[in-house]
Structure 1
């Protein structure tokens, strides 16, 4: 089974969800301390010194493009399609449900908080700022790869290298959203907290329902 029963899952959900809720409330009530920290952190990633490094700007722009919410859905559709063709039908459905559920949750919270983006943001980055949709969606794509795809790779060294690269990709994607003035730093931190909390729920649903779905002939998988 790709995702096993874990009695500590709800503790992780409570911690990540609690931190996210606290952060969301601080933003909604315009905490001056949080705003100041946001401004200081943003200045570290948007200084003229960094903008003068051509390859760094290109890397940040590329990462931000590849992690667009629409492309996150495309990546997961591709992953799910390959899994389905390989006989992993329930993991494929779970992957789609995880990314869709996370995106819907993030969109709802954006419209509840209604945080304004940094003044220097690009015209293409419209809508509200908290939480970062790019970061939330990409975090879930990486989580799906970690839980469902990478375990299928036979070579342990390749699995380890891919895991390290994906962790760095999430970190630099979050940096890119701040660097490009698309989000405040806490928008990306909040997105990761929300994504992790939602992932705990999605994993719990998988453990609870995958064995039941496997009894249905149409959803029968070679492995759950």
Structure 2
């Protein structure tokens, strides 16, 4: 089963969306309190002993928008090829609409990047695209691919691996000074709430698509 009926899903998505909106509001008004905490957290993370520039740049490259697009296409291709067309279509819808929402929010906020960021970066800092995209990929893999893993310990190992990579990307983006800490936190909240919303849409609306010719032989859940 890809997406289970969870009575708390609506509340979870609402709470994470509200937290994101609060952070967004503080960014828009350029809150000095938020900036103070951002700088304190940034200094702490920059001072961690595992601040390795080469490793962080590698993670940054692996989580850039082009690579994330390749991951999504690869997952879609495999799911579609093995006749899991409905969840493959849902994955693409969730990813594409998420990226559109992300770009709109970043254009509205236009928060300047931290001092010392990577050369060539011109986009705003809030939200962080690498963190947002890799969080969404991790969640989509957990929903669409992990259910095919039959062994419990492999499920746990895969899940831990997905979130470990996500955490390393978050830390790496802050250490490369491509993102403030609260930009990264907001990116995770946005990705989580967006996927949760699309899970609700899947359960409410996507089953009807099994009556159409293209999805006629696809599994639903």
1:46 is matched with which residue? 46
SS in 2 for 1:5: coil
Whole-angstrom distance in 2 between the partners of 1:87 and 1:30: 49
1:185 is matched with which residue? 181
| Structure 2 residues without counterparts, runs of 5 or longer | none
TM-score of the pair, normalised by structure 2: 0.95
Whole-angstrom distance in 1 between the partners of 2:140 and 2:24: 25
Residues 54-109 of structure 1: per-residue CA shift (max 9 Å, x gap):
xx322221111111122111101100000000000011111111111111111100
- Alignment map for 1:15-26 (pairs within 5 Å): 15-26=15-26
SS in 2 for 1:217: coil
2:64 is matched with which residue? 68
SS in 2 for 1:17: helix
C-alpha spacing 1:211/1:49, structure 2 compared with 1 (3 Å): closer
Residues 7-51 of structure 1: per-residue CA shift (max 9 Å, x gap):
211101111000000011011111111101101111122249655
TM-score of the pair, normalised by structure 1: 0.94
SS in 1 for 2:211: coil
Higher mean C-alpha deviation, range 205-214 or range 75-84? 205-214
C-alpha spacing 1:221/1:120, structure 2 compared with 1 (3 Å): farther
Residues 122-169 of structure 1: per-residue CA shift (max 9 Å, x gap):
123221110111111111101111011011112221111010011111
1:4 positional shift:
2.2
The equivalent position to 2:124 in structure 1, one of 114, 122, 128, is 128
Q: Is the 8 A contact 2:20 2:189 kept in 1?
A: yes
Q: Is the 8 A contact 2:45 2:174 kept in 1?
A: yes
Runs of 4+ in 1 over 4 A off after TM superposition: 48-51
CA RMSD, aligned part only? Answer: 1.4
C-alpha spacing 1:14/1:62, structure 2 compared with 1 (3 Å): same
SS in 1 for 2:219: coil
